Structures are given as C-alpha cells and as structure tokens.
C-alpha cells in the first residue's frame, strides 16, 4: 500500500511539473505551506483562547468544522501533492460541512451505538452524565432481583467556597 501511494505521488508531481513547470511547482509548495501555517495558527490560537477563557459555546458541527479547518491547514503544510489537494478541497466550507455531517453520523453509529444513550443533568459547574443500554434511568432496575444492572455512573463536580451559596 505505501508503494502505491508513493507511485501515485510521483505521478501527480510528474504531471504537475509537465503541465505548469518546475518553478510553479516550487511556488505552489511555498504558497500552500505558508497558507497552511496561517490557518493552523489562526484556528489553533482562536480555539485555545476560547477554551482558556471558557467562552466555548459553539455547536458540535461548528466545532467539528473548525477542527476540519485545522486539519486542512495541516494537510497544506505536509509536503505532498495528495495532501495539498485534500487540504485545498477541505478548505471550502460546503465540503467541510459535508465531512462534518458524515463524521457526526459516524460518531453516532459507531461510538454511540443504537442500543446506548447518554443523558446529561445539570449545567454550569455541576454536570452529571450517565449512559445506559436501554430506555431506563440509571436508578431504575430491570427487575426486582438482587442482580447487578452493570450501569456506570460518572459525575464531575468541584467544591465551591462561596458564602452566598451557603445561606
């Protein structure tokens, strides 16, 4: 398989150089690498700043789209004609949207299979998540026997020392 990819890369470079010339080939590499670096820095710094300040309020698809834009910049940096083509195609918003929809569907089908569900309770500093395999809550038993149900309860919390909340 790697030999096939290497062969395809050589063919892409050969035909590009034949059609546009070697200097244009070098110019393409330099420009796309520069654009890729700009995209990675801009998207990376913006995302990091939002995570640090706690202002992340985007929807899942826009987060996935931003991640795909970051991947597009990385693909433009990598010195390969195939990755530059993939990065340039992934740069366009309609293509990113289609890939984000496909990736979301993949996550729903593969990671969260049809028999499981994830619920969230609470907001702000206290969130409680649980995942089960049927349409029942974490504290509801299937039957009245002493058999363990196998559900896992995962919670996140932090201590708040605010005198206003204690009154």
Q: b/e for 102-128, b at 16 or more Cβ within 10 A?
A: ebeeeeeeeeeeeeeeeeeeeeeeeee
Element (H, E) at 130: strand 127-132
Cα 76 to Cα 83: distance, rounded to the nearest angstrom: 7
Which runs of consecutive H residues, i.e. helices, occur in 1-80?
A: 2-20, 22-53, 60-77
Q: Are 76 and 42 in contact (CB under 8 A)?
A: no
Full-prediction pTM beyond 0.85? no
pLDDT tens digits, one per residue of 67-111: 889 999 999 998 888 899 999 999 998 998 888 888 777 777 766
Predicted local distance difference test score (pLDDT) of residue 67:
85
Least confident of 8-17, 24-33, 115-124, 152-161: 115-124
Query: What integer pLDDT is reported at residue 148 of this predicted model?
Result: 52
**pLDDT for res 162:** 59
Contact predicate 96/102, CB 8 Å: no
Average pLDDT over all residues of the chain: 75
Let me know if 149 is exposed, middle or buried by CB neighbors in 10 A (0-12, 13-18, 19+): middle
C-alpha to C-alpha distance for 76 and 37, rounded to whole angstroms:
8
């Amino acid at each position: 398989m790697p030999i096939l990819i290497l062969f395809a890369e050589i063919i892409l470079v050969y035909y590009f150089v034949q059609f546009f010339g070697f200097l244009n080939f070098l110019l393409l590499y330099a420009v796309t690498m520069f654009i890729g670096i700009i995209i990675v820095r801009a998207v990376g710094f913006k995302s990091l700043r939002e995570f640090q300040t706690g202002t992340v309020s985007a929807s899942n698809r826009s987060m996935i789209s931003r991640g795909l834009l970051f991947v597009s910049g990385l693909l433009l940096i990598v010195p390969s004609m195939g990755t530059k083509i993939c990065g340039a195609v992934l740069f366009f918003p309609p293509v990113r949207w289609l890939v984000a929809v496909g990736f979301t569907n993949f996550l729903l089908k593969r990671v969260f299979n049809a028999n499981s569900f994830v619920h969230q309770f609470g907001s702000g500093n206290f969130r409680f998540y649980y995942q089960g395999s049927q349409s029942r809550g974490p504290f509801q038993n299937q039957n009245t026997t002493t058999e363990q149900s196998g559900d896992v309860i995962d919670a996140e919390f932090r201590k708040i020392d605010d005198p206003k909340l204690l009154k």
